[in-house]
Structure 1
Amino acid sequence: MKANDVLLCLSLEEQRQSDIRDRLTKRGHVPSMAYLRKTLRKFAADGLVVMRKAENGGCFYRLAEGEAVEAALDSAWDTQRSAISSGGRT
Protein backbone atom coordinates (compact mmCIF):
# COMPACT_ATOMS: atom_id res chain seq x y z
CA MET A 1 0.00 0.00 0.00
CA LYS A 2 1.18 3.50 -0.82
CA ALA A 3 0.39 6.91 0.60
CA ASN A 4 -1.57 7.60 -2.62
CA ASP A 5 -4.03 4.89 -1.58
CA VAL A 6 -4.69 6.78 1.66
CA LEU A 7 -5.18 10.04 -0.24
CA LEU A 8 -7.76 8.42 -2.53
CA CYS A 9 -9.77 7.25 0.50
CA LEU A 10 -10.19 10.76 1.87
CA SER A 11 -13.07 13.04 1.01
CA LEU A 12 -14.18 16.62 1.57
CA GLU A 13 -16.31 15.40 4.48
CA GLU A 14 -14.65 14.86 7.83
CA GLN A 15 -13.82 11.25 8.64
CA ARG A 16 -12.33 9.50 11.64
CA GLN A 17 -9.11 7.57 11.18
CA SER A 18 -11.05 4.33 11.64
CA ASP A 19 -13.42 5.31 8.80
CA ILE A 20 -10.46 5.89 6.48
CA ARG A 21 -8.95 2.55 7.49
CA ASP A 22 -12.30 0.84 6.78
CA ARG A 23 -12.36 2.35 3.27
CA LEU A 24 -8.79 1.16 2.67
CA THR A 25 -9.66 -2.33 3.90
CA LYS A 26 -12.60 -2.50 1.48
CA ARG A 27 -10.10 -1.70 -1.30
CA GLY A 28 -7.90 -4.63 -0.27
CA HIS A 29 -5.39 -2.82 1.95
CA VAL A 30 -4.82 -3.49 5.63
CA PRO A 31 -2.74 -0.60 6.94
CA SER A 32 -1.53 -0.43 10.49
CA MET A 33 -2.99 2.44 12.47
CA ALA A 34 0.57 3.75 12.99
CA TYR A 35 1.18 3.92 9.22
CA LEU A 36 -2.17 5.59 8.65
CA ARG A 37 -1.54 8.15 11.42
CA LYS A 38 1.94 8.92 10.05
CA THR A 39 0.61 9.32 6.50
CA LEU A 40 -2.24 11.58 7.58
CA ARG A 41 0.16 13.77 9.59
CA LYS A 42 2.45 14.08 6.57
CA PHE A 43 -0.47 15.05 4.34
CA ALA A 44 -1.55 17.63 6.92
CA ALA A 45 1.99 19.07 7.07
CA ASP A 46 2.00 19.22 3.25
CA GLY A 47 -1.33 21.07 3.24
CA LEU A 48 -3.23 18.26 1.52
CA VAL A 49 -5.35 17.28 4.53
CA VAL A 50 -7.15 19.31 7.17
CA MET A 51 -7.12 17.78 10.64
CA ARG A 52 -9.53 18.82 13.39
CA LYS A 53 -9.15 17.67 16.97
CA ALA A 54 -12.36 17.11 18.87
CA GLU A 55 -12.76 18.01 22.53
CA ASN A 56 -12.78 14.31 23.46
CA GLY A 57 -9.32 13.88 21.92
CA GLY A 58 -10.45 12.28 18.67
CA CYS A 59 -9.29 13.58 15.31
CA PHE A 60 -11.20 14.14 12.11
CA TYR A 61 -9.62 14.38 8.67
CA ARG A 62 -10.76 15.73 5.32
CA LEU A 63 -9.13 16.72 2.08
CA ALA A 64 -7.94 20.30 1.90
CA GLU A 65 -8.86 22.35 -1.14
CA GLY A 66 -6.71 23.95 -3.80
CA GLU A 67 -4.43 23.30 -6.73
CA ALA A 68 -1.90 21.27 -4.74
CA VAL A 69 -4.63 18.87 -3.62
CA GLU A 70 -5.98 18.55 -7.16
CA ALA A 71 -2.48 17.81 -8.48
CA ALA A 72 -1.85 15.20 -5.76
CA LEU A 73 -5.19 13.50 -6.47
CA ASP A 74 -4.53 13.49 -10.22
CA SER A 75 -1.14 11.89 -9.59
CA ALA A 76 -2.65 9.30 -7.23
CA TRP A 77 -5.33 8.37 -9.80
CA ASP A 78 -2.68 8.12 -12.55
CA THR A 79 -0.58 5.84 -10.36
CA GLN A 80 -3.58 3.64 -9.63
CA ARG A 81 -4.61 3.43 -13.29
CA SER A 82 -1.06 2.55 -14.29
CA ALA A 83 -0.87 -0.22 -11.69
CA ILE A 84 -4.23 -1.63 -12.79
CA SER A 85 -3.32 -1.58 -16.48
CA SER A 86 -0.05 -3.38 -15.78
CA GLY A 87 -1.87 -6.03 -13.76
CA GLY A 88 -0.49 -4.93 -10.38
CA ARG A 89 -2.32 -3.81 -7.27
CA THR A 90 -2.00 -0.41 -5.67
Structure 2
Amino acid sequence: MEKPQRLRQRSAIAGLYQRYQRCSPVSVTITSLVIITITISILISFLIALFSYVSHHNITCHHHDHHQHTNFLLDSAVLLSPSP
Protein backbone atom coordinates (compact mmCIF):
# COMPACT_ATOMS: atom_id res chain seq x y z
CA MET A 1 0.00 0.00 0.00
CA GLU A 2 2.94 2.28 0.74
CA LYS A 3 4.82 1.63 -2.50
CA PRO A 4 2.34 3.09 -5.04
CA GLN A 5 2.10 6.31 -3.02
CA ARG A 6 5.87 6.67 -2.92
CA LEU A 7 6.07 5.94 -6.64
CA ARG A 8 3.36 8.50 -7.34
CA GLN A 9 5.25 11.03 -5.21
CA ARG A 10 8.45 10.32 -7.14
CA SER A 11 6.68 10.71 -10.48
CA ALA A 12 5.14 14.00 -9.29
CA ILE A 13 8.60 15.23 -8.28
CA ALA A 14 9.98 14.09 -11.66
CA GLY A 15 7.14 15.95 -13.42
CA LEU A 16 7.88 19.10 -11.43
CA TYR A 17 11.58 18.76 -12.24
CA GLN A 18 10.84 18.32 -15.96
CA ARG A 19 8.55 21.35 -15.90
CA TYR A 20 11.27 23.36 -14.15
CA GLN A 21 13.83 22.21 -16.73
CA ARG A 22 11.51 23.21 -19.55
CA CYS A 23 11.00 26.79 -18.30
CA SER A 24 14.33 27.12 -16.49
CA PRO A 25 16.27 29.37 -18.93
CA VAL A 26 13.71 32.19 -18.78
CA SER A 27 13.12 31.91 -15.03
CA VAL A 28 16.83 31.67 -14.29
CA THR A 29 17.49 34.74 -16.47
CA ILE A 30 14.72 36.73 -14.73
CA THR A 31 15.93 35.64 -11.29
CA SER A 32 19.54 36.53 -12.06
CA LEU A 33 18.47 39.91 -13.48
CA VAL A 34 16.46 40.65 -10.34
CA ILE A 35 19.38 39.64 -8.12
CA ILE A 36 21.83 41.74 -10.16
CA THR A 37 19.48 44.75 -10.06
CA ILE A 38 19.04 44.46 -6.27
CA THR A 39 22.80 44.09 -5.78
CA ILE A 40 23.56 47.11 -7.98
CA SER A 41 20.95 49.27 -6.22
CA ILE A 42 22.31 48.29 -2.80
CA LEU A 43 25.86 49.07 -3.96
CA ILE A 44 24.79 52.45 -5.40
CA SER A 45 22.92 53.43 -2.23
CA PHE A 46 25.89 52.33 -0.11
CA LEU A 47 28.27 54.37 -2.29
CA ILE A 48 25.99 57.43 -2.09
CA ALA A 49 25.78 57.10 1.70
CA LEU A 50 29.55 56.70 1.95
CA PHE A 51 30.18 59.69 -0.33
CA SER A 52 27.73 61.91 1.56
CA TYR A 53 29.29 60.83 4.88
CA VAL A 54 32.81 61.54 3.59
CA SER A 55 31.85 64.93 2.13
CA HIS A 56 29.98 65.88 5.32
CA HIS A 57 32.98 64.79 7.40
CA ASN A 58 35.36 66.83 5.23
CA ILE A 59 33.09 69.88 5.48
CA THR A 60 32.86 69.60 9.27
CA CYS A 61 36.66 69.40 9.34
CA HIS A 62 37.05 72.48 7.11
CA HIS A 63 34.63 74.90 8.68
CA HIS A 64 34.79 77.60 5.96
CA ASP A 65 33.02 75.21 3.51
CA HIS A 66 30.03 74.93 5.82
CA HIS A 67 28.13 77.75 4.09
CA GLN A 68 28.45 76.02 0.71
CA HIS A 69 27.19 72.78 2.28
CA THR A 70 24.05 74.44 3.67
CA ASN A 71 23.45 76.08 0.27
CA PHE A 72 23.77 72.67 -1.41
CA LEU A 73 21.28 71.18 1.07
CA LEU A 74 18.84 74.04 0.44
CA ASP A 75 19.21 73.65 -3.35
CA SER A 76 18.63 69.91 -3.16
CA ALA A 77 15.59 70.49 -0.91
CA VAL A 78 14.21 72.98 -3.43
CA LEU A 79 14.87 70.57 -6.30
CA LEU A 80 13.28 67.62 -4.48
CA SER A 81 10.20 69.49 -3.25
CA PRO A 82 7.31 69.53 -5.75
CA SER A 83 6.94 72.85 -7.53
CA PRO A 84 3.70 74.75 -6.76
Assess same fold via TM > 0.5: no
Q: What's the TM-score once normalised by structure 2's chain length?
A: 0.29
Pair member with larger Rg: 2
Q: With CA pairs under 8 Å and 6+ residues apart, which has the higher RCO, 1 or 2?
A: 1
Q: What's the TM-score once normalised by structure 1's chain length?
A: 0.27
Larger helix fraction of residues: 2
